[in-house]
Amino acid sequence: MYKATTHGITVTAIPVYIDERSQPANDQHFWAYRINIKNYSDKSVTLISRYWHITDATGHWEEVRGEGVVGEQPEIPPGHEYTYTSGCPLQASSGMMMGNYQMKCENGEMLEIEIPAFPLDLPDHDPVVN
C-alpha cells in the first residue's frame, strides 16, 4: 500500500499485476490499481481532473490527463471516502506511476492533491528502479 496526504486528503494506492490480461511473450503487461481517497479535511471537495505520469523499465514514459476518474467527478464530504479501480497496460515488465488530482473545494478554491508514486512490478521478481 502506498499513501500520500495533501491538504487533509489522503490518497492510498494498491497495484496488482493481472496475469489474465497480460501476455509477457508479446511484451504486454497489465496492472490494476485501486485508489482510495479519504477526506480528513473540514471542507467538501469534488475531484475535477487527474494527471498521471507513467514510466516503464525501458525509460518510456507518458502523461495522462483527463476529467474525473472512471467517468465520475465524485464529491467527497469531510469524513467520507471514495474508492475506484482502474488499470494500466505497459510494454515492459516493470514501471512506476505517480500523479495528482485537481480538486475543487465548496468555496471554489482549487487544490492539487498528490497521488503517491507506486511501482508496477511483476510478482515474485526483484523490483526494477525506474
Task: Tell which CATH architecture fits domain 2-119.
Answer: Sandwich (2.60)
Is residue 130 very low, low, confident or very high in pLDDT (cuts 50, 70, 90)? very low
pLDDT in tens, 7-22: 999 999 999 999 999 9
Q: How far is CA 128 from CA 22, 34, 57, in A?
A: 18, 21, 7
Cα–Cα nearest to 38, from 81, 74, 88, 84: 81
Burial category of 24 from C-beta neighbours within 10 Å (exposed 0-12, middle 13-18, buried 19 and up): exposed
**Residue 1 pLDDT exceeds 80:** yes
- For residue 122, what pLDDT is reported? 85
Angle at 49 between CA 45 and CA 54, to 5 degrees: 125
Distance (Å, whole) CA 91 – CA 112 = 30
C-alpha grid cell, residue 119: 511501482
Mean pLDDT (the chain, rounded): 94
pTM score over 0.85: yes
The mean pLDDT of 99-123, rounded to a whole number, is 96
**Residue 127 pLDDT exceeds 60:** no
pLDDT in tens, 50-107: 999 999 999 999 999 999 999 999 999 999 999 999 999 999 999 999 999 999 999 9
